[in-house]
Amino acid sequence: NWESGIRGSEPAFAWRKSGKPFKVHPTEIRTSISPSSAVELNTTSALANYATEAGDNEREGLLNHSIVDTWVKWESLLLIRFTISEELLVQIPAGTGRCSGEPVYQLNQHNIPALTEVTRRVGVAIGDQILDLNAVSHLFDGPLLKDQQFVFKEATLNSFMSLGRAAWKEARDTLQRLLSVNDQTLQQNAELRARALVPQSSATMHLPAHIGDYTDFYSSIHHATNVGIMFRGPENALMPNWKYIPVGYHGRASSVVVSGTPIRRPNGQTCPVDGEAPVFGPCRLMDFELEVAFFVGGPPTTLGEPVPIQEAQDRIFGMVLMNDWSARDIQKWEYVPLGPFLSKSLGTTISPWVVTLDALLPFAVDNMEQVPKPFPYLRHGDKFNFDINLTIDIKRQLSIYSPGLVLYAERSVSSTVSRTNYKYMYWTSKQQLAHHTITGCNLNPGDLMASGTISGPASDSFGSMLELSWRGTKPVPLADGSTRKFLQDGDEVVIKESNHTNTN
């Protein structure tokens, strides 16, 4: 059983006409096929289904050949997707309309590749499956989406995000209907189910959107207070502006990556001893920052036109988990007077799944009391903090040796180092967006805005190693018996969330 994709071009068309076998170079195969492998495919069957999107009217009588799945266009290259195995095809259990007991309202959207990773797809999580929205795009036939079905055929969510809140709700309602126990559309169509459902375990995750701009805020009062105490003392913990504006800075969008992307320890200038000359070398104080970020939606705004806070909710598409990797020693040396730069641009990790705002609204809780009262452009009376439990684990591969120092086993050891909650945010995402645009800064669908490090009031609810180890003075114990002040090479940081039944 295997799947593969090959590149198509004018030379490939000439190759097809020749009828000769073609060896696909291993580096051109975007799957797990061994680098030593080469795959030979019969050209007549392989290129049978290129016709429509390749712009060639010729079908050659083999359009429905079992070896050919579909022909797609990607990054100006024509590609073919082949599906030889049928074992990966799954079905919704008859009469259920859902998998793994997941509530159908928890519809998390992201972009996924096709099974062969030839093209990326937009999908919705249903239990341990992914519903490929490209395969069911024709079922979005409501008044707002019937002429916009192309948005589900694209490689990112940007076009769908641009349609606005009413279209997002219509899509959500359509999905809930299709996946309900009372709807027969998918339950009675085995062929469609087979095409539309993909096991999450067999999919490769990608960034859910093209991120044009990225802003990182500093909106957790406990985090800001902790850092202020460390560096300025308790009397000056918060800067004078902190309770008046949602402080933020413009981050580096190009280095936002999807979860699972390795992050390399950066080199840079640091000043280990205050008052002495700086040195150059590897970062010694590598840290994580637990954050939650939201994607901007709706059509692009106009330069010079602020988004009123009363309209901010319609501009928040959904939220992702974030780890804003931070090189603390580089940050300390560089941040005066303009703020973070290289200490933050080394990489920012987000989850591939976007939890839509409508899915989060049932978990809204009271906002934190804000004293002094914000300026009118930042005021809103509705609840817009969210009861989202967040945990941080540090995972480490542990090698076990025999008495003769022969490696005989390896196992992964995970240690939970913090449990916190999004509800500890001082500034809400509505306020962040309204403040971001108050000078007339324009926004685009797919822009990313992050909360800043989320810390709670207790020492085991802090959102960074800087706080958990209190600037390296209190080592954090791990389950394998080791300790951490900051991250070591090989450490894996796992951020998880869970929301539960709201009682507020």
Is 331 annotated for ligand binding? Answer: yes
Which strand (E) or helix (H) includes residue 317? Answer: strand 316-324
Known catalytic residue: 500?
no
> Can you name the residues that pair with 73 across neighbouring β-strands?
78
The two structure tokens encoding residue 109: 């959207």
User: Are residues 288 and 493 in contact, defined by beta-carbon separation less than 8 angstroms?
Assistant: yes
Is 373 annotated for ligand binding? Answer: no
Is 10 annotated for ligand binding? Answer: no
Is 264 annotated for ligand binding? Answer: no
The two structure tokens encoding residue 243: 């309770």
- The alpha-carbon radius of gyration of the chain (Å, integer) is 25
> Can you name the residues that pair with 82 across neighbouring β-strands?
4, 68
Is 289 annotated for ligand binding? Answer: yes
Which strand (E) or helix (H) includes residue 448? Answer: strand 448-450
Is 423 annotated for ligand binding? Answer: no
Euclidean distance between CA atoms 164 and 314, whole angstroms: 7
Is 324 annotated for ligand binding? Answer: yes
Query: Reduced to 3 DSSP states, what percent helix, strand and coil does the chain have, rounded to the nearest 5?
Result: 25, 30, 50
User: Are residues 468 and 418 in contact, defined by beta-carbon separation less than 8 angstroms?
Assistant: yes
Is 216 annotated for ligand binding? Answer: yes
Catalytic, out of 110, 223, 435, 436: 223
**Dihedral sign from CA coordinates of 488, 489, 491, 492:** positive
For tokens 């580089």, name the residue: 330
Residue 145 DSSP SS3:
coil
Closest CA to 132 of 196, 88, 83: 196
User: Are residues 73 and 79 in contact, defined by beta-carbon separation less than 8 angstroms?
Assistant: yes
The two structure tokens encoding residue 44: 């007549």
Is 424 annotated for ligand binding? Answer: no
Which residues are documented as binding site? 216, 218, 232, 289, 291, 324, 331, 335, 344, 348, 453
Which residues are documented as binding site for Ca(2+)? 216, 289, 291, 324
**Catalytic residue annotation:** 223
